[in-house]
Amino acid sequence: MLCRNCGTEIADKAIVCYRCGTGTTDPVRKAVPVKPRRSPLLSFVLAAVLLLSALYLGYAAPAAANPQRWQTAAGVLAGAALIVLVLRLLRRR
């Protein structure tokens, strides 16, 4: 039998060509397609926006009519930014 890639004479029962390594038959199973990875940019931009919003609310809270409410909102936004970053780092592993 001749190799279908390089044309070398190989045994009839050969599984691969000894010269080029090409298989003599088509594969039984297809390879699993690899999903493209999403860009980490979106999660970092989201975290940055949340942190900047938290900083703004934290600095603007003392001038507001109800500062405790705005400081709580700033804390929640900062916590959400931290959660986004932690989840992104855990997903990389």
Q: Indicate whether 11 belongs to any domain.
A: yes
pLDDT in tens, 39-90: 778 888 888 999 889 888 888 888 888 888 888 888 999 999 889 888 888 8
Total tally of structural domains belonging to the chain:
2
DSSP 8-state assignment for residue 39: P
Residue 22 to residue 61: CA distance in whole angstroms: 69
45 shares a domain with 88: yes
Structural domain for 21, as ranges: 1-28
DSSP 8-state assignment for residue 66: S
Q: What is the pLDDT of residue 67?
A: 86
Say how far residue 61 (Cα) sits from the centre of its chain.
37
84 shares a domain with 46: yes
pLDDT in tens, 5-51: 899 999 999 999 999 998 888 878 888 888 877 777 888 888 899 98
Is the Cβ–Cβ distance between 54 and 41 less than 8 Å? no
Tokens describing residue 35: 């999903």
Q: Indicate whether 14 belongs to any domain.
A: yes
Q: Indicate whether 52 belongs to any domain.
A: yes
10 shares a domain with 46: no
Measure CA of the first residue to CA of the last residue in the chain; give whole Å.
47
Residue 43 to residue 54: CA distance in whole angstroms: 16
Q: What is the pLDDT of residue 11?
A: 92
Q: What is the pTM of this model?
A: 0.54
Tell me if residue 2 falls in helix, strand or coil. strand
